[in-house]
Structure 1
Amino acid sequence: MSRQGKAYAYGLAAVLAWSTVATAFKISLEHLTPAQLVLYASTASFLVLLGVLAAQRRLPELACALRRHWKRSLLLGAVNPFVYYLVLFRAYDLLPAQEAQAINYTWALTMTLLAIPLLKQTPRRADVVAALVCYLGVLVIATRGEVLALHFSNFEGLVYALASTLLWAGYWIFNAKDEREPVIGLALNFGFALPMALVWCLLGDGLGQASLSGLLGAAYVGAFEMGLTFVAWLMAMKLTESTARIANLIFLSPLLSLALIHLIVGETIYPSTFVGLALILGGLALQKWLTRAPAAGAA
């Protein structure tokens, strides 16, 4: 297989895995509270990442990175996975999976908008147009098509879903200057987040009597949402001849995810979800097209 072929294989594996996580979230939350799911899934992910580093014979690097970057690891670990997944799982607990996962796809646009005040970037016409289109899609999904009436199906869930995009976007903005190797950095984040998640559980919901189904769901979420999939995506980006070719694969994920939500979770997919998701993805695609168009013209 060629280098680009391997990149596609890793990229498709990551996209397929990400397509299943909305379903896994919803099923796991039938057996666990959001805080418990954060704790057990983070534990699974931490063990998976340690396994990856052990297989690569890089565990000694972890101790060295810990000594050099413990402050950054503590701060970023508090954001992701601890607070981010608490908020995201709460959104999935309150909303149908189809709505939560569709709104979550606006994080890429949120990152662009958040970079304007945080990085002092100048807003572009493409960003404004994309924002209007994407957030119209969010409004269609959140109101289930009753946009003019502004009748939200679950306003609290909508707030949590949008807050999760802010946290995720902010994490990646601050992560851009991270000196740590990505897999080692992520392992350190999870290592610092585990005590936080444990204390949060003990002060709130408690550890409970976790069922086997709940633990298996958390292990799946930890391995494929937080752990192995991230490594596969990194490999795809490292091997590809064109970042855009791999990045475009992510547009396959929403429809695959909706199909699994319908077939496995049993949700009836609302027409408003398809319309809203089309607006969100269309807004993101429009942003990319408008951003590239001037460069192409200049060439």
Structure 2
Amino acid sequence: MFEQPLLQVKNVTKKYGAGCQKCMSYCSTKLIKNYCSTCRTVYACRNVSFDLYTGEILGIVGESGSGKSTLMQCLYFDVEPSSGIMYFDHPGLKEKNLFHLSAQQKRLIRHKKFGMVYQNPIHGLKMHYSAISNIGEKLIAAGDRNVAKMESIGNMLLREVEIPVFRSKEKPLHFSGGMQQRVQIAKALSNNPPILFLDEITTGLDLSVQANVLDLIKNIQMEYGVSMIVVSHDLAVIRMLADRTLVMLDGEVIEEGLTDQILEDPQHLYTQQLVYSLI
């Protein structure tokens, strides 16, 4: 018996523009990269499909403008896709396309079942709230009202991500980039979500800080068993974290497979260039 995917994503497309007869067939040869010169529509994502399994880390790699961050925004309901299906293997939600749920239902899933760590912490944190208040904000949004419980969870998670408890009442505005990312991770984990989205979280960090953040993510995945989708333009990050990998270019998935397989035997010319850049 085959394992049921925790998350199924099918044919997700996000276009900016109305589209025309020339480009609506989604044929790559009719576009300039991901741009239609006739109607000026930009296809940020085109027919992206994948499965995510329980306890798995799925990597998505590609250059800037490849569509990977737009895809993550669609999955986390920050952006509404133009078309596509997302199924979540959870009681009461099976067989329902999450993209078609009400705004209230989407908010509940965001706060209770999904966690997000953005590339820029300013999108994931309230910089003028304290670190522990940021965690409390997500707990409140999910319906929690017990202040003592929220404070206990907040302090526990800050310790987990190696933020000193004596700094829990400080604002992330005064933290380093690496510390801000760790507060984001703690906030994302506050409701023990089964799925965590990580978007370019090492960009702009010093190499030593990058290594610490990646170690933290790996430890969290092993401890909590949370499934993750990790987006990066850096194949070295994907190599360290991901079990399977999708390679995106111009809004499309051009290659997918086990991460080791892609690293050892890349098939697409673009993937080959990425892999050879590591050598």
Q: Which has the higher strand share?
A: 2
Q: Same fold (TM over 0.5)?
A: no
TM range (shorter): under 0.3
TM-score by length of 2: 0.27
Structure with the larger helix share? 1
TM norm structure 1: 0.26
Q: Which has the higher contact order (CA 8 A, sep 6+)?
A: 1
